[in-house]
Structure 1
Amino acid sequence: MRLISDTYNKTDLSLDGSGSLVIETIKEGSGTFPVSGSKVKIHYTGTFEDGTKFDSSYDRKQPLVFTLAQGTVIKGLEMGVSNMKKGGRAVLTCFPQYAYGESGYPPKIPPNSTLKFDVELLDWIGEDLSPNEDGGIEKVEVLQPGHGYLTPKDGSQVDIHIRGEFEGRVFEDRDVSFIIGEGSEENIIEGVERSLVKLRSKECVRLKIKPNGVCRNS
């Protein structure tokens, strides 16, 4: 990722630094960027390079909702939204390799089309790590990416550092080693223990745990 020198609010997001995916921030927004697995809600208008509109969620009066890192939208839109904050607005310029490529999307999008998206990030919710997918454990920020692809399972021994806050007050800050499934013996909040089976080695995240993700079933 690099800033483009001719204007402070344009950033090259392309993986090879070629300028084939550029985000121009119109409005910054607030908070943090959505993480992989987050459910995002956006409004957008898509145009060709000459300004001709080919699609708009505003016209349908219905925002687009999708989950990051599931491949349900084009790569450029997904990468662009990942670099926006809630309430922010940006214009994405997507070369074909970040849009519909050589094939296009007939009959609406011709082959090898460069597309622009004027995007407003209305809201996003972090990845739901709760076993029952009830929203009890939300991953709201990745502070340090993990290594590899393996995650611990029930019965695995883990070494973690945990820092807990409630209404701005730190109630826990410690290193602890325990076996997943036996966290209660070390007074580990259930939501923390359940989230570990979806985290990779060295991954550091910020979780928001609701009451239904705190208490263990009696």
Structure 2
Amino acid sequence: MTKQTILCAIAFTFLFSMGCKKSDQDQPLPDEDALIRNYLRSINAEATRDKSGVYYQIINPGAGDPVIYTSTVTVNYKGSLLNGKQFDDVSNKAFNFLNVMQGWQIGINKIRTGGRIIIYVPSSLGYGKYVPKPEIPANSTLVYDIELVSFKK
């Protein structure tokens, strides 16, 4: 073998072994469906399970046309973890609907302008392994209280 082939083999082995290391984020996920159900029981709340795995409570359905995927939505929202720790409290924030997490797309589509919904988002439909801010650990189940203020098609 040439010196270059040996160095390439060593580099490949090193890089491959680094990519295979387990991190805290690679640990098996808990049964989030059970976590959400237990959380709802603990706060004595009822919610409907969407086929996606998002649970939701429609507080006020609102009125008017449904949001479409190319819309810009303006919302008021609060975000928290299942342990009750709040990480967001935002008013009149505009988002391109295509750029919001899947859990939001599923939940917001269930209300109309002026509507309010509480959604319980499994990590797979939220941020997953991504840590968007220090207050939101990887693989977190999220709770959002969202009011759809308006949207533009």
Q: Contact 1:25/1:91 (CA < 8 Å) preserved in 2?
A: yes
Runs of 4+ in structure 1 deviating by more than 2 angstroms, as ranges, are 9-15, 102-106
Higher helix proportion (structure 1 or 2): 2
Aligned to 2:148: 121
For residue 99 of structure 1, what is the aligned residue in structure 2?
126
Q: Is the 8 A contact 1:14 1:22 kept in 2?
A: no
Give the structure, 1 or 2, with the largest relative contact order (CA under 8 Å, sep 6 or more). Answer: 2
Rounded to whole Å, the distance in 2 between the matches of 1:21 and 1:101 is 14
Q: Could you state the TM-score of these two structures normalised by the residue count of structure 2?
A: 0.64
Partner of 1:67: 96
1:10 matched residue in structure 2:
47
1:117 CA displacement: 0.3
Q: Which of 78, 89, 104 is 1:45 aligned to?
A: 78
Q: Distance in 1 between matches of 2:109 and 2:96?
A: 11
Determine if contact 1:49/1:114 at 8 Å carries over to the other structure: yes
CA distance in structure 1 between the aligned counterparts of 2:103 and 2:139, rounded to whole angstroms: 14
In 2, are the aligned partners of 1:21 and 1:95 still within 8 Å (CA)? yes
TM-score, length of structure 1 as denominator length: 0.46
Cα-Cα RMSD: 1.7
Please state which structure has a larger fraction of its residues in strand. Answer: 1
Identity, % of aligned pairs? Answer: 28
Aligned length: 108
Contact 2:61 2:110 in 1 (8 A): no
Shift of 1:37: 0.6
Per-residue Cα deviation, 1:120-139 (whole angstroms, up to 9, x for no partner): 0011122xxxxxxxxxxxxx
Query: Residue type matched to 1:11 in 2?
Result: T
In 1, Cα distance between the equivalents of 2:115 and 2:102? 19
- Segments of structure 2 that go 5 or more residues without pairing to the other structure are 1-45
Q: Give, as a single letter, the amino acid of the residue that structure 1 aligns with 2:56.
A: I
Q: Where do 1:154-173 residues align within 5 Å?
A: none
